[in-house]
Chains A and B, each alone.
Chain A
Amino acid sequence: MLHLLIRRLAVAFLVCITVLTFAFALTRLSGDLAISIAGPSATAADIEVVRKAYGLDRPVVEQFFDWVGRAAVGDFGQSYFYKERVSKLIVDRLPVTMTLGLVGLGIALLVALPLGVVSALNEGRVIDRVISLVALLGQAMPSFWLGLILMVTLGLKLGWLPISGTGSWEHFVMPGIVLAFSAIPALMRLTRSGMIDAMNADYIRTARAKGLSRTSIVLKHAARNAAMPVVSIAAVQLGFMLGGSIVIETVFALHGVGFLAWESISKNDFPTVQAVVLMLAIIYTLLTLGADLLNALLDPRLRAQ
């Protein structure tokens, strides 16, 4: 188990280094940063001043190691656009994004797991087909559109939920539902196929031969074995939700990391862009690491490796 942990941590570290390099390289490749920072009305002399002030006149390699060195201790420099510490920008917005992602994943699991199990236990019957069809329709629905529909119905017509802002937990319900919607089909399909495989396994026949109750057969013996791919994909989905919630954060006016990423990219605020990309990469690797460890808890064979 310790061995596994060390190996996975080493991989996670390498992934972060790679992403860091790419994040840096991409911002430099996107054009002359000094020109975009100085703005459209700047003269050549202004641009030179900016170049000096921001240290962009130094060799790229030096800039890179300078940045890495500071990033390692949590210093991502000053945002060109917000005129604030980048670390503070991110720390301020992270809770919103995290809450949104966790609410989204929670809703997705609450819907997808029972539906997947019911589908699997009724494989090929009408109820299975209906569930698959609904999931397919859900997948085909664009999230901004679903967001608007929810706002109009639940928010404006019925007045049950606030339509924008981050003041209370209720603010996260609608965007959470929208986020969940895109994750439900994949989670549900994996739950279904995992449960079908598990229910056809020899050990389920043994469990039935032991006279165990239906509940114990399905929830104890089958579900535990079906859970592993679901855990892995849930981690990936949470990663998407954290990094890819730009549309939803915009529609619901939630000022999270997704919104920050969008703004800093469009404003060429490269210290912020680099930091956001790096942070998302770290979150991704931590999530996959977490999923691997959770799976090792679920399956003793993985622990033995």
Chain B
Amino acid sequence: MTALLEVADLHIGFGGLAAVRGASFTVNKGETHCLVGESGCGKSVTALAMMGLLPANAERRTAALRFDGQDIAGLSEREMSRLRGDRIAMIFQEPMTSLNPAYTVGSQMGEVYRRHRGGTRQAALDRAAELLERVRITSPGMRLGQFPHQLSGGLRQRVMIAMALMCEPELLIADEPTTALDVTVQAQILRLLADLQTELGLAILMITHDLGIVARTAHRVSVMYAGEIVETAPVFPLFAEPRHPYTRGLLSCVPVPGKVGRDEPLGSIRGTVPRIGPNFAGCAFRDRCDLARPDCSSPVVRHTLASEHSYLCQIAP
């Protein structure tokens, strides 16, 4: 199991807002690592930080950001743009707006290939047709000539995935790739990603707020809350013995047939994700936590349960 992407102590701030606070995680080659948490917890900005695509008003600080052993934190924009789309690719939540309305599918898919691999327009189109076929789009030749508005949401997301795979990346970052899609289409896309992973040995950093998706796709899970990774574990231990009260809260919100009785109420977490300033100390979840104690406002140390399972809470068993 070799690490492909390693992040240590990542901090991202927007002026007086600490959006990500000391996040560390590792994505191994060929594995799916799920980053899960409510909306506003800092998942998207974490993903963008990996790509060097943070907005101009963001400040990023990190102890280490390594891709395939190479430190990429200090790379220039030019050097990063050589990695992006080639060895690290990304797909987004909004398939409706993520493609340029003015250019054909073929043109948009071809340009990323020509940018990183060169070659003729025709070679790039051939490659694009091959990838469309690979993401199970029928009559790829016809699709290449179409514009985004002529495709359904599910098709567009397939095109985005195909486009991301044009240069055979080692890492795919998928930021809520199925959130905007119908449930049936969602299942198809997730299956497609899983198949592609086996076929291509792709590592996936999957960002989602949906534990159902985590259960279906993840090898390893990091639970993010208010900019911190509060618990990280392989998928089975995480579902079997969640430690952090936030993880448990999230899990209690998901109905499990057979386990949750018909009349039992589903769990929910009261309150909302707080806005965290730069000098915040202690556990960010304490205001919403049923177990909170006075000492939760002092700095929390990370507990390691097994070599791969750790959490950030001092009262959890």
Contacts and interface: CB of A to CB of B under 8 A. Distances in A.
Contacts of B90: 209
Nearest to B173: A209
Contacts of A203: 97-101
Given A205-B98, A211-B81, A212-B85, A301 B147 contact: yes
30 contacts: A201-B97, A202-B92, A202-B94, A202-B98, A203-B98, A203-B100, A203-B101, A205-B92, A205-B98, A207-B100, A208-B81, A209-B53, A209-B89, A209-B90, A210-B111, A210-B112, A211-B85, A211-B112, A211-B115, A212-B85, A212-B111, A216-B115, A221-B103, A224-B103, A225-B102, A299-B102, A300-B149, A301-B101, A301-B149, A304-B150
Interface residues of A, number: 21
Residue among A211, A216, A301 facing the most chain B CB atoms (10 A cut-off): A211
B115 A213 contact: yes
B81 A212 contact: yes
Contacts of B4: none
Given A211-B80, A299-B101, 9 more contacts: A202-B97, A203-B101, A205-B92, A206-B160, A211-B86, A224-B100, A225-B100, A225-B101, A301-B147
A225 B148 CA distance: 14
A233 interface: no
A111 interface: no
A298 interface: yes
Secondary structure at chain B's binding surface: helix, strand, loop or mixed? mixed
B102 A209 contact: no
A298 B147 CA distance: 12
Interface of A: 201-203, 205-213, 216, 221, 224-225, 298-301, 304
Given A205-B53, A216-B111, A210 B84 contact: yes
Given A202-B94, A301-B149, A304-B149, A209 B100 contact: no
Residue among B84, B100, B103, B150 facing the most chain A CB atoms (10 A cut-off): B100
Secondary structure at chain A's binding surface: helix, strand, loop or mixed? helix
| Chain B interface size range | 20 to 34
B102 A210 contact: no
A210 B163 contact: yes
B213 interface: no
Given A202-B97, A225-B101, A209 B149 contact: no
Contacts of A301: 101, 147, 149
Contacts of A304: 149-150
B219 interface: no
A211 B83 contact: yes
B51 interface: yes
Nearest to B90: A209
B116 interface: yes
B136 interface: no
